[in-house]
């Protein structure tokens, strides 16, 4: 019998209002507030159950517990705050239980929020605990110090999807779970990336496929820092790779429309929770998952999972792959006996650097078809 893993917290949240009710609210006399796309995408992820068990933006009790203890106030594992900042003039005028229509920056009515509380939180504590640093050179830290200081919490509902360019790849947990059930997979590995595919990632994905019935390749297609790959490049190159180099019906490809936080180990756990909600039983964790620069140590993202024996999804703590010129293939230190002088390390940072300098990448680093996609007119690949 086909087994589907329970969503985080035991139930897949659905906060999408029926069309007639949504239309009535859109026509109603509610205060409207505009927020940036990052928070619009978070609202959508709450509504479709990607952030189960959350039903809205966190209150101060949950926010504080997540920052300090990596758990919601009820004890459930959760590592990244999900919050909604508002300009001081708006925040001061809010009343408890007031209903707000949340709009995109172009004025499209996206969601409804029932105000629970307005609060603030010490940014130094937030930065240090979640990102491990207060250095504004860290892109996640820079964003929180630049945001408004007042946050509004409360349950949210989705009125309509935003005009998102890559919506057809933006599958819901309900959709991926349906595909998993149709294919009768009992085990599914989730793979997170913000990069175009290189051979080291392909190596990890195929290790996971030897263990599991299928794999969900699920790249971030929301906000990323300057210098990362654009969604178009990631989508086109992965669709080619899956079509040509993976067994038929062994892969679900979808985009995860949310922002990168660059929170390293904490974000690795957050990404695992999201993929659990999408139906994954296993989650691939790399050497420097969601890392940036030199802010995190090698395999910090592996070690943090020791704090979460109750997570409910099995982390695949895979060693860093590299090309060994002696072995003449992609390997890891678990299977390669040769000195590091024979190793060529392959990473997103290395690939982005080569693309930025317009340097050719050898095929043991990146398949020629991917390199060709990156060279295409209009797809230099990088933001």
Q: Taking every pair of C-alpha atoms in the chain, what is the biggest distance, in angstroms?
A: 70
Sign of CA dihedral 121, 144, 74, 305: negative
Q: How far apart are CA 243 and CA 264, in angstroms?
A: 31
CB-based burial, 251-290: b 16+ in 10 Å, e otherwise: bbbbbbbbbbbbbbbbbbbbbbbbbbbbbbbbbbbbbbbb
Sign of CA dihedral 281, 284, 288, 290: negative
Expressed in angstroms, the distance from the first to the final Cα of the chain is 45
Burial of 147 (0-12, 13-18, 19+ CB in 10 A): middle
Strands 85-86 and 150-158: antiparallel
The residue from 194, 266, 275, 287 that is catalytic is 194
Phi, psi of 141 (to 5 degrees): -65, -45
Phi, psi of 304 (to 5 degrees): -65, -25
The residue from 195, 199, 261, 277 that is catalytic is 195
Our answer to whether residue 195 is catalytic in this structure is: yes
DSSP H or E segment with residue 323: strand 322-324
CB within 8 Å of 81: residues ≥ 6 apart: 58, 63, 66, 67, 126, 130
Q: How far apart are CA 278 and CA 178, in angstroms?
A: 10
Q: How far apart are CA 277 and CA 342, in angstroms?
A: 41
* Residue 235 · residue 198 · CB < 8 Å: no
DSSP H or E segment with residue 156: strand 150-158
DSSP designation for 248: T
DSSP designation for 220: B
Tokens of 116: 């629970």
DSSP designation for 99: E
Our answer to whether residue 266 is catalytic in this structure is: no
Residues in the chain: 383
The residue whose two tokens read 């990088």 is: 382
What is the set of active-site residues? 194-195
């Amino acid at each position: 019998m086909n087994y589907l893993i329970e969503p985080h917290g035991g139930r897949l949240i659905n906060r999408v209002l029926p069309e007639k009710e949504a239309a009535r609210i859109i026509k109603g006399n509610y205060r409207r507030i505009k927020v940036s796309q990052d928070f619009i995408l978070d609202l959508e992820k709450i509504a479709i159950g990607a952030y189960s068990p959350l039903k809205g933006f966190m209150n101060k009790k949950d926010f504080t517990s997540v920052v300090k203890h990596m758990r919601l106030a009820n004890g459930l594992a959760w590592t990244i705050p999900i919050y909604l900042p508002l300009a001081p003039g708006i925040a001061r005028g809010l009343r408890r239980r007031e209903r707000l229509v949340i709009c995109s920056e172009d004025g499209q009515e996206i969601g409804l929020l029932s105000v629970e509380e307005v609060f603030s939180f010490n940014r130094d504590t937030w930065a240090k605990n979640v990102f491990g640093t207060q250095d504004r050179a860290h892109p996640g830290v820079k964003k929180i110090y630049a945001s408004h200081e007042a946050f509004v919490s409360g349950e949210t509902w989705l009125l309509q999807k935003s005009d998102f360019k890559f919506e057809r790849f933006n599958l819901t947990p309900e959709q991926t779970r349906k595909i998993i059930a149709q294919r009768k997979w009992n085990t599914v590995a989730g793979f997170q990336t913000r990069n175009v595919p290189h051979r080291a990632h392909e190596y990890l994905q195929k290790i996971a496929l030897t263990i599991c019935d299928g794999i969900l390749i699920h790249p971030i297609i929301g906000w990323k820092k300057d210098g990362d790959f654009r969604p178009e490049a990631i989508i086109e190159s992965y669709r080619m790779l899956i079509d040509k180099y993976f067994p038929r019906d062994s892969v679900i490809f979808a985009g995860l429309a949310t922002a990168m936080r660059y929170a390293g180990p904490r974000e690795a756990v957050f990404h695992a929770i999201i993929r659990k909600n999408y139906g994954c039983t296993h989650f691939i964790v790399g050497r420097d998952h969601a890392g940036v620069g030199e802010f995190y140590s090698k395999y910090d993202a592996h070690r943090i999972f020791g704090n979460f024996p109750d997570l409910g999804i099995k982390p695949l703590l895979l060693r860093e792959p590299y090309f060994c010129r002696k072995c003449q293939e992609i390997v890891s230190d678990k299977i390669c006996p040769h000195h590091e002088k024979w190793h060529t390390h392959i990473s997103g940072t290395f690939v982005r650097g080569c693309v930025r300098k317009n340097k050719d990448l050898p095929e043991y680093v990146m398949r020629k078809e991917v390199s060709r996609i990156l060279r295409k007119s209009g797809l230099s690949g990088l933001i």
